[in-house]
Amino acid sequence: MITIQGKGVSSGVGIGPLYFYHRAKTTITRYQVEDVDAEWHRFKGAQTAAIEQLGELAEKARAEAGDEAAMLFETHQMMAEDLDYEEAIEGLIKENKSNAEAAVTDVAVQFAQMFESMDDSYMQARAADVKDVSRRILSILNGTVEGGIASEVPVLLAADDLAPSETVQLDKTKILGFITAGGSGSSHTAILARTMGIPAIVGVGDALKPEYEGRQVIIDGATGNVVIDPDDMTRDRLLKKREEQLRLQRLLESLKGQPNITKDGKSIRIYCNIGSPEDVHAVQVNDGGGIGLFRSEFLYLNCDDYPTEDQQFEAYKQVLSDMEDKEVIIRTCDIGADKQIGYFNLPKEDNPAMGMRALRISLTRPDFFRTQLRALFRASAFGKLGIMFPMVTSVWEVREAKKLCEEVKRELKAEGIPYSEDVQIGIMIETPAAAIMSDRLAKEVDFFSCGTNDLTQYTLACDRQNNDLGRFYDPHHPAVLRLLQMVVENAHKNGIWVGICGELGADLTLTETFLAIGIDELSVSPRAVLPLRNAVRMTDTRESSARILDALNNEYQAT
């Protein structure tokens, strides 16, 4: 039995085989082949597998987002079996004796350059298609699988860490839990784990050895304990703990349909954070009151080029329609910092968390921003929509974003395209500047939503992705809580509501504090809804409000 200690970031006990995340190879080995017919058949096998994958993705996209979304994968299917593309690869293999990987790579470059040189914009867009299809075939030839998990059974997934673009593509049905060498409690891996309601442990360093792959492992997401080849006593103890957790979850199920009201009658809205239309089901199953944060950047992370207005519209429309009359707040694209996308061609920055990201990109690329806003306002005709701008620091940024909203609405009206006039406009409070300026910002918008992950990072000057900072990154720090209190006071003075959509919203040790300072809404991962509702219903703010407010205003000490 081998025991490894990490940091638990999503509670629960997971048991299963250990599997290391496999990334597609970025370098192509070139060599001359002797048996060209065998090499050609190797390519044909990979081509067939790619076409089958694309067909499955098309059907999944059609079910989740409509025919428009499915067309992308159907176009890629046609590209994969295009006769000119296939014959060019066959020529390199059979005449030049190139290995399949080299042949696919060279033909992809040749065809992409050909498409890019054409005058027709539609044909120019096919360059991205041929690159994507070729990458898929190369991944199969290299033995890697789209989504990184080539296993027939669910696994405990181990990785150094996972980028947002990688978490988007994971086959969620194959994951029993996460273990990462790096990362932190606010990393995307941790957030994904909490959304899925599965255990996760970060910060194990180099303790996980490649030779452990396939061995039986139990992880405890509460304690950060990883046990490889557990003995019978350890196995029984952790399985009993898992059973107790499942029993408590069944008890929480009885809270479905119950109001989020404290013992003394104070009410709070409990909404959910999601990253894709697929997550709406989890919101409904866990009785979320609405969606307080829809991270729209998943659309961009899951594409090889900018998603079109129609692609975005279909995704937003689906979420709003599925949520019926419940509120859905969609954050405009929050790319940059730790969420990098190649086709955005962002400049390399020494400190990307402080650089070109989120609303800054949208305001400096108005055509890109306008496309998203058009899709959002078109979707507003199908539900109760709120639009939220991330990474605000100044009043002028909000006014410029609102000006673009009004321009888009005028365009849609002129085109006879329906939209709702009741769309709420809000901003993320995730910088100290926004918190300090919240009295003025509140006059510009309908609501605030506090992103506590970044607010903590910028307030404490601590990189939230750096696990080595440990207790220095403290979301309970008095400075963070006092900023939240200031934001709530300024919001309410100006007649707008304020919520929290960062991970801190699910911290049950702070539920009383949030109720005491007057937070109106907490948006959390779907699995956190019922535990949070239970905490709210067990709280009596008559006993705690005065004490908490006095501590915040006077002698509060971080714990």
Whether 270 contacts 536, CB under 8 Å: yes
CATH 3.20.20.60 in the chain: give the residue spans.
Answer: 260-553
Instruction: Please confirm, yes or no, whether 76 is among the known catalytic residues.
Output: no
Q: Does CATH place domain 2-23+148-251 in 3.40.50.300?
A: no
Provide φ and ψ at 415, rounded to 5°.
Answer: -85, -5
> How confident is the model over 327-374, as pLDDT tens digits?
999 999 987 766 667 778 777 877 777 778 889 989 999 999 999 999
**List of residues 6+ apart from 499 with CB closer than 8 A:** 269, 271, 292, 447, 448, 449, 450, 505, 519, 520, 521, 522, 523
Number of Cβ atoms within 10 Å of the Cβ of 404:
16
**DSSP-assigned letter for residue 509:** G
- Concerning whether 501 is annotated as a catalytic residue, the answer is yes
Q: How many CB atoms lie under 10 A from the CB of residue 88?
A: 17
**DSSP state, residue 19:** E
Q: What is the pLDDT of residues 389-411, one digit of tens each?
A: 999 999 999 999 999 999 999 99
pTM score over 0.85: no
**Strands 497-500 vs 521-524: parallel, antiparallel or unpaired:** parallel
Q: Is 468 exposed, middle or buried (0-12, 13-18, 19+ CB in 10 A)?
A: exposed
User: What's the CA gap between 485 and 491, in Å, rounded?
Assistant: 10
Specify the pairing of strand 200-202 against strand 7-10. antiparallel
The one-letter amino acid at 512? E
Alpha carbons 77 and 378: distance in angstroms, whole number: 30
Q: How far apart are the first and last CA of the chain?
A: 35
Give the pLDDT of residue 558.
43
Structure tokens at 30: 């070139």
Residue 215 in tokens? 């061995």
CATH code linked to domain 36-141: 1.10.274.10
- Distance from C-alpha of 303 to C-alpha of 149, rounded to nearest angstrom: 19
Of 378 and 137, more confident: 378
The radius of gyration computed from the CA coordinates of the chain, to the nearest angstrom, equals: 25
pLDDT over threshold 80, residue 72:
no
CATH code at 260-553: 3.20.20.60
Neighbour tally for 540: CB within 10 Å: 14
pLDDT for position 304: 76
Q: Which of 76, 188, 303, 333 is catalytic?
A: 188
Q: Across residues 79-88, what is the average pLDDT? A: 91
For 83, the enclosing helix (H) or strand (E) is: helix 83-96
> What average pLDDT does range 50-76 have in this prediction?
73
Report pLDDT for 79: 87
pLDDT of residue 25: 62
Going by pLDDT thresholds of 50, 70 and 90, the confidence category of residue 498 is very high
pLDDT score for 533: 95
Report residue 467 as tokens. 């696990």
* Alpha-carbon distance values, 121 to 118, 127, 300, 496 (Å): 8, 10, 20, 45
H or E segment to which residue 240 belongs? helix 232-253
Paired residues of 500 in beta bridges: 450, 522
Looking at beta carbons, which pairs linking 167-171 to residues 24 or more positions away fall under 8 Å? 167/192, 168/275, 168/276, 168/298, 168/301, 168/302, 169/302, 171/147
Helices (H), 66-151: 67-80, 83-96, 100-116, 121-141
- What pLDDT, in 10s, does the model give residues 307-317? 899 999 999 99
Mean pLDDT over 124-150 rounds to 78
3-state secondary structure of 120: coil
Residue reference for tokens 């699995």: 527
Can you tell me whether residue 553 is helix, strand or coil?
A: helix
Which residues have a Cβ under 8 Å from the Cβ of 278 and sit 6 or more positions away? 64
Checking if the pLDDT of 258 tops 50, the result is: yes
What's the mean pLDDT in 53-74? 70
In the chain, list all ranges with CATH 3.50.30.10: 2-23+148-251
- Asked whether the beta carbons of 289 and 530 are under 8 A apart, the reply is no
Task: Report which secondary-structure segment, H or E, holds 351.
Answer: none
Distance CA 136, CA 145 (A): 8
pLDDT band at 423 (very low <50, low <70, confident <90, very high): very high
Indicate the SS3 state at residue 7.
strand
Q: Which residues of the chain form CATH 1.10.274.10?
A: 36-141
Which of 272, 333, 405, 501 is labelled catalytic? 501
Residue of 196, 258, 270, 185 whose CA lies nearest to 529: 270
Structure tokens at 147: 């989504």
Would the pLDDT of 556 be above 50? no
β-sheet with 2-5: strand ranges across: 2-5, 225-228, 216-220, 13-20, 155-159, 175-180, 200-202, 7-10
Task: Inform me whether the pLDDT recorded for 179 exceeds 90.
Answer: yes
Write down the pLDDT at residue 559.
41
Residue 120 has pLDDT above 90, yes or no: no
